[in-house]
Amino acid sequence: MSTTRTAPSDETAARSELLDERLAQDTGLRGAADAFRRRVRDGDLGLLPVVVGLLVIGLVFYLQDVTYLSSSNLVNITLNAVPYGIIAVGIVLVLLLGEIDLSVGSISGLAGSITAVLVVQNDVPLVFGLLAGAGTGAAIGIAYGLIFTKIGVPSFVITLAGLLGFVGLQYVVLGDTGTINLPRTSPLAQFAREDFLSPAVSYIVVVVVTALYALVSIIGIRRRTAAGLPAQSLTLVLIKSAVMLAGLGFLTYYLNIDRGWGFAVVFFIALVVLLDLVLRKTTWGRHLYAVGGNVEAARRSGINVNWIYISAFSLTGLLAATGGLMFLARLTSVSQASGSNDVNLTAIAAAVIGGVSLFGGRGSAYSALLGVLVLTAINSGLNRIGVDSSVRYIVTGAVLLLAVSIDAIARRARASSGRG
């Protein structure tokens, strides 16, 4: 089996490298295939279950309705996924810490209400209205973090209280009218509903994204090689880049048959990519994983644990508010029902279904992207075949239970292999 370039005489060091995910890099195509099989066998399934799930969902609903995979419906699925997905990205952060935020739906509704009242009823410039809504979410998150770290109240209790309290505050903000409509001519509504990349620009973006991926990967190979660490082969990187270019190019062509990539969708994907880079490439991101994996070990190694908790809760609140603003833009209205429990459950379920461990320390920003696509795709399919909304909840619950069960089984396999 082709594995690493570790000296044969130093078998102990070689085994240590293979157990360390940051160091283990198998060379060649066969080595990459061996590494993939080894990760699956050890319970490190990554994004594989959710990708397989998406393919199964697409096939099942296509057999029920051949228009399910039409470019028009796929564009609608991507647009509808954006608000939930942005909130789910924030949920990923607290789940990585082994905590929870049950109030993201209430925060999203409150943020949308504050922005709508300021912009529509008080003629405040849109930029200031957006800043007020987003700032409210961030401030709530900071308050959560301080209560959690300074007083020691469990995050479940704090955010449950927030869930109830901010619903009441949302009623107060909206006043007697209860509902506020955002003009469809508003730049915010245009951004979420009407603005799409032109075909030429979309293809340029695909080429640029693929080129950046290849460039970053090649730089990584050179840095690892210069440091004397094993690195993936250049051939494998080129194959991955070619597959990415072909896949994204075809998807872009197919979506461009209808309206193409919406500005809001591009914003959401850029947000996911940015957060993924922050989590993997920055000290803050590595400390977040460390705290989620073992908080006491992280504290003893000198990590400012309180800062990690406060910043994570703050970002979760900010992203929940941003998701609420996208709901306002997409629906062009906000009401007392905005940010209801459906938003909470969908956002949390999306992160878990996407592969974020409820036990903390495992998962990625892409979990939110894939998880919300799974739920939105199921919702779209059930609506198209005329299934009652009650069935939608049952199916969503079943999918969530399946995802958590897979995570529990994988966690047991990792523990058995000494990687848990």
According to the model, what pLDDT value does residue 314 have? 96
Mean pLDDT of all residues in 24-35: 62
| Of 340, 350, 408, 404, the residue nearest 378 (C-alpha) | 350
Q: In 10 A of CB 35, how many CB atoms?
A: 19
Residue 105's pLDDT is 92
Q: Kindly tell me if the per-residue pLDDT of 17 is higher than 50.
A: no
Distance, in Å, from the CA atom of 378 to the CA atom of 393, rounded to the nearest integer, reads 10
For a pLDDT cut of 70, what percent of the chain falls above it?
Answer: 87
Q: At what angle do helices 48-64 and 389-416 cross, to 10 degrees?
A: 150
For 235-271, the pLDDT digits (tens) are 888 888 999 999 999 999 999 999 999 999 999 999 9
Residues whose CB is less than 8 angstroms from the CB of residue 413 and which lie 6 or more positions away in sequence, other chains included: 41, 42, 43
Domains of the chain as residue ranges with CATH: 48-195+262-411 (1.10.3470)
Q: What is the mean pLDDT of residues 170-195?
A: 90
287 confidence band (pLDDT: 50, 70, 90): very high
Lowest mean pLDDT among 127-131, 245-249, 333-337: 333-337
Please give the span between the terminal C-alpha atoms of the chain, in angstroms, as a whole number.
24
More confident residue, 170 or 20: 170
Query: Residue 320: which H helix or E strand, with range?
Result: helix 305-331
Mean pLDDT of 289-303: 91
Name the pLDDT band for 5 (thresholds 50, 70, 90).
very low
Task: Give bridge partners of residue 335 from the DSSP assignment.
Answer: 179
Q: Which of 266, 276, 157, 265 is nearest to 216 (CA)?
A: 276
Most confident of 227-236, 251-260, 390-399: 251-260
Is the predicted pLDDT of residue 404 greater than 80, yes or no? no
Of residues 294, 226, 229, the one with CA closest to residue 16: 229
Could you tell me the pLDDT band of residue 355, with boundaries at 50, 70 and 90? Answer: confident
Strand partners, 179: 335
The Cβ of residue 408 has, within 10 Å, a number of other Cβ atoms equal to: 13
Average pLDDT of the residues in 285-303: 91
pLDDT mean over 220-248: 86
- Is 90 exceeded by the pLDDT of residue 223? no
Buried b / exposed e along 259-289 (16+ C-beta atoms within 10 A): bbbbbbbbbbbebbeebbeebeeeeebebbb
Per-residue pLDDT, 110:
95
Q: pLDDT-derived band of residue 420, with 50, 70 and 90 as boundaries?
A: low
Instruction: Give the Cα-Cα-Cα angle 272, 273, 276 (nearest 5 degrees).
Output: 85
pLDDT tens for 71-93 read 999 999 999 999 999 999 999 99
Phi and psi based region of residue 294 (left: phi greater than 0; alpha: psi -120 to 50; beta: remaining): beta
Q: Which residues contact 67 (CB under 8 A, 6 or more apart)?
A: 73, 384
Highest mean pLDDT among 28-32, 324-328, 395-399: 324-328
In this prediction, residue 90 carries a pLDDT of 93
Instruction: Using alpha carbons, select from 360, 354, 380, 377 the residue that is nearest to residue 88.
Output: 354
If one counts every other C-beta atom within 10 angstroms of the C-beta of residue 213, the result is 15
DSSP 68-97: TTSHHHHHHHHHHHHHHHHHHHHHHHHHHT
Structure tokens at 170: 């949302």
Q: What is the mean pLDDT of the chain?
A: 85
Global pTM?
A: 0.86
User: What pLDDT sits at residue 1?
Assistant: 37
